Amino acid sequence: MQEKLRRTGEIPRHIAIIMDGNGRWAKQRSMPRIAGHSEGVESVRDTVEACGQLGVEYLTLYAFSTENWKRPKEEVSLLMRLLLKALKDETDRLHTNNVRLQTIGEISALPVEVQNELLEDIQKTKDNTGLTLILALSYSGRWDLTRAIKRLVEDAKANKLPEDQISEQLVASYLSTGDIPDPDLLIRTSGEFRISNFLLWQLAYSEIYITPKFWPAFRRDELYAAIRDYQQRERRFGMVSEQIKSNGSKGGTLNRLIKSVTGP
C-alpha cells in the first residue's frame, strides 16, 4: 500500500492531526475515558510508524490543548501520566527509527516530570534525520499568535525590527512552528468539522480531511485513505486551475510561488 501511495501521487510533507473521540470510543464500550486515551496511544504509535515509513517529513499531533486544562482534575492527571509513560516506553523505538521529537506549546505549564522527560527525549533524538514528530502540548493557535505578537513587539521596542520588515514570513518565524513548513494535510477524527484552536495561522492553505472514526480506531489504513484523498485534491493557493495545470511544463515557477506561501 505504501508503494502504491508513492506511485499514485505526492506524499504530504507535513501532516497535522486533531486526535478526537477517545472519550466516545470508550463510552461506546462502557469503559472509562482513560481507556480511550490509552488505546489512542496505540493509534499514535501506528500512525508515527507509518508516516516514517512513507517519508512524511513532519507529523504534528494535537495531544493536549490549552482548553484541555479545564477538564476534570483526575482526567488531566491521568492524561499526563499516560503521556509520561508513552514517552518513557516509546522514545528508544522512536530513536531507532530515526524520528526526531519536538514540541510546541506552553511546555512550562506541564508537570515537571513531563517537562524533564520531554527535554531528555528531544535532546536524545535531535540529530535524527527521518520523520520530525511534533507534539502540541498545552497548545492553542491563539496562544501561539499572542506569544508571537508579544515577542514581536518586544523586538520592535528594542529596535531590532524596522517596521517595513514586518512581512508574513517574519510573523511566521515568530510562531512556535518557526521554520517548520505549514501542514499540507489536516486530519480530524470523530467527524467534527472544527479547527478547535489548533494551528490557526499555519492551516491557511492545508487540505482538510475529516473521518467519522474515533481516534482509538484510527490506524494506518485510515491514514492511507486520508493521503489518497489528499492526492486527488487540486491545491490552487488562490490561483486558477489552468495556472496549476500549466506549471508542469514551466519548470516549477508555481512550485516556487507555493513555497513562498507555505513556508520553507
Spot the catalytic one: 68, 97, 128, 247: 68
Q: Does 78 bind ligand FPP (CB under 6 A)?
A: no
Helix ranges (H only) for the chain are: 2-8, 22-28, 33-54, 73-96, 112-125, 141-157, 168-174, 220-231, 241-247, 253-262
Least distance from ligand FPP to the Cβ atom of residue 87, Å? 7
20 is catalytic: yes
Q: Does 211 bind ligand FPP (CB under 6 A)?
A: no
Q: Does 44 bind ligand FPP (CB under 6 A)?
A: yes
Residue 225 C-alpha from the chain's centroid: 18
Q: Does 117 bind ligand FPP (CB under 6 A)?
A: no
Closer to ligand FPP by Cβ: residue 54 or 79:
79
| Residue recorded with cell 504509535 | 45
Site for ligand FPP in 212-241 (CB under 6 A): none
Q: What CA–CA distance (Å, rounded) separates 257 from 171?
A: 18
For the chain, the 3-state helix, strand and coil shares in percent, each to the nearest 5, are 55, 15, 35
Single residue of 40, 105, 141, 263 touching ligand FPP by CB under 6 A:
40
Q: Does 24 bind ligand FPP (CB under 6 A)?
A: yes
Single residue of 34, 54, 59, 61 touching ligand FPP by CB under 6 A:
61
In the chain, the N- to C-terminal Cα span, in Å, equals 29
* Residue count, binding to ligand FPP (CB under 6 A): 17
Question: Cell numbers at residue 40, please?
Answer: 489512542
Closer to ligand FPP by Cβ: residue 15 or 61:
61
- Amino acid type, 200: L
68 is catalytic: yes
CA 148, 81, 109: angle at the middle one, nearest 5? 25
Q: Binding residues for ligand FPP, per CB under 6 A? A: 19-24, 37, 40-41, 44, 61, 63, 68, 82-83, 86, 135
Q: Catalogue the active-site residues.
A: 20, 68
